[in-house]
């Protein structure tokens, strides 16, 4: 699990440095450059990874099962991709290519934390699925706590680093012109902390095969992102775009907790039912042994 996280971090670092020269052009005329339109925020990356891992659990011999799972899987993937790019579309529309050229490279720094969460989520995917199938509610809750702890840890580190040395980090990675955007980095780090929690808990929901509830949740998050973009970006520019990322993540986090509560309640009921069945079986075994003993005495 740790080597996988390190590997993903190195890949994220390569991506950041690949963007460095391109990011220096943001203050110039970018109207001719179409790469800004194509480069995503990579927030959907962890979602794609969890879908790939989840595909291993699909029974290919059962066509109905594949169809029932493929539709929500596709919708979740599509909505996650659209949701992650909504602030970019509105930022370009309202503030132009230059603002987008500043926002995109800085937002790409969230990829490093997202890849750590993705690596840990993939490593925990099978154990979470096993805990769910066994109705092991204590083990399930431990995974939820670990996912939240990881997200909080990464979020705190990111926020503190952004506040303390954000200017130096941006100047080192993207050039001195970006050093003045340290406040934007802090806002994005706050939004990233929430996104990390959403991503980590998303693996748990997917491992438990709670796919259908994620579709309306992501749709609601997209609606919140659109509404927030219309209201915040024209008024607050780059900061507003960062706030939209955080708003969208907050909507997802609230809905995620509701879904996790449903999973928890289902596991409690399942565990109670299994305990009652085990108790009845034990009672029947004792009665059978008692009858056998009585027959032996006679």
Instruction: Please spell the DSSP secondary structure of 20-81, one letter per residue.
Output: HHHHGGGGS--TT--HHHH---STTHHHHHHHHHHHTTS-TT-HHHHHHHHHHHHHHHHHHH
Instruction: Report the 10 Å Cβ neighbour count for 198.
Output: 26
What is the per-residue pLDDT for 242?
96
Residue 287 lies in a domain: no
Task: Show the 3-state SS of 98-155.
Answer: HHHHHHHHHHCCHHHHHHHHHHHHHHHHHHHHHHHHCCCHHHHHHHHHHHHHHHHHHH
Helix (H, G, I), strand (E, B) or coil at 211: coil
Domain presence at residue 290? no
pLDDT band at 31; cut points 50, 70, 90: very low
**Tens of pLDDT, residues 72-82:** 777 888 888 89
184 domain residue, yes or no: yes
Query: What is the arithmetic mean of pLDDT over 33-45?
Result: 43
Say what the pLDDT of residue 293 is.
62
Distance separating alpha carbons of residues 192 and 186, to the nearest angstrom: 10
How many domains, the chain? 1
What is the pLDDT averaged over residues 52-62?
Answer: 48
Kindly state the tokens that stand for 17. 């440095």
Backbone angles phi, psi at 194, to 5 degrees: -70, -40
Position with higher pLDDT, 297 vs 209: 209
In this model, does residue 1 exceed pLDDT 80? Answer: no
Q: Which of 32-41, 60-69, 266-275 has the lowest mean pLDDT?
A: 32-41
Q: How confident is the model at residue 275 (pLDDT cuts 50, 70, 90)?
A: low
- Answer yes or no: is 214 within a domain: yes
Average pLDDT over residues 188-197: 94
Count the Cβ atoms, other than its own, within 10 Å of residue 21. 10
pLDDT of res. 271: 79
Q: What pLDDT score was predicted for residue 288?
A: 67
Please tell me the number of Cα atoms within 13 Å of 13 on its side-chain side: 8
Structural domain span for residue 27: 2-270
d(CA 234, CA 221): 20
Please, are residues 143 and 127 in contact by the beta-carbon 8 Å criterion? Answer: yes
Cα–Cα distances (Å) from 294 to 159, 194, 280, 281, 289, in that order, read 72, 65, 21, 20, 9
Asked, for residue 282, whether it belongs to a domain, the answer is no
Are residues 4 and 123 in contact, defined by beta-carbon separation less than 8 angstroms?
yes
* Confidence at 291, pLDDT banded by 50, 70, 90: low
> Do 158 and 189 touch, CB atoms closer than 8 A?
yes
- Please check whether residue 103 lies inside any domain of the structure: yes
* 125 part of a folded domain: yes
> Does residue 292 form part of some domain?
no
pLDDT > 90: percent of the chain:
45
> What value does the mean pLDDT of the chain take?
79
Average pLDDT over residues 189-217: 91
The 10s digit of each residue's pLDDT in 208-257 is 888 889 999 999 999 999 999 999 999 999 999 999 999 999 999 999 99
pLDDT band at 2 (very low <50, low <70, confident <90, very high): very low
């Amino acid at each position: 699990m740790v080597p996988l996280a390190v590997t993903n971090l190195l890949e994220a670092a390569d991506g950041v440095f690949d963007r460095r020269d391109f990011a220096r052009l943001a203050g110039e005329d970018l109207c001719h450059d179409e790469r800004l339109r194509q480069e995503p925020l990579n927030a959907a990356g962890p979602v794609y990874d969890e879908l790939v891992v989840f595909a291993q659990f699909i029974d290919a011999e059962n066509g109905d099962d594949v169809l029932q799972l493929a539709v929500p899987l596709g919708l979740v993937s599509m909505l996650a991709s659209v949701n992650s790019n909504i602030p970019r579309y509105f930022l370009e529309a309202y503030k132009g290519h230059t603002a987008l050229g500043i926002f995109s490279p800085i937002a790409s720094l969230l990829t490093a934390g997202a890849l750590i969460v993705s690596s840990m989520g993939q490593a925990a995917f099978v154990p979470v699925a096993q805990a769910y199938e066994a109705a092991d509610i204590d083990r399930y809750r431990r995974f939820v706590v670990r996912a939240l702890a990881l997200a909080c840890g990464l979020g705190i580190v990111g926020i503190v680093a952004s506040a303390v040395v954000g200017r130096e980090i941006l100047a080192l990675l993207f050039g001195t012109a970006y050093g003045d955007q340290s406040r934007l980095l802090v806002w994005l780090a706050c939004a990233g902390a929430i996104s990390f929690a959403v991503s980590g808990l998303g693996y748990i929901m997917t491992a438990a095969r709670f796919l259908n509830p994620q579709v309306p949740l992501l749709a609601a998050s997209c609606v919140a992102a659109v509404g927030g973009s219309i209201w915040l970006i024209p008024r607050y520019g780059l900061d507003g775009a960062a706030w939209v990322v955080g708003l969208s993540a907050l909507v997802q986090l609230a809905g995620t907790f509701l879904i996790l509560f449903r999973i928890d309640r289902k596991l409690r009921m399942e565990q109670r039912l299994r305990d009652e069945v085990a108790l009845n079986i034990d009672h029947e075994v004792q009665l059978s042994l008692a009858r056998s003993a009585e027959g032996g005495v006679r």
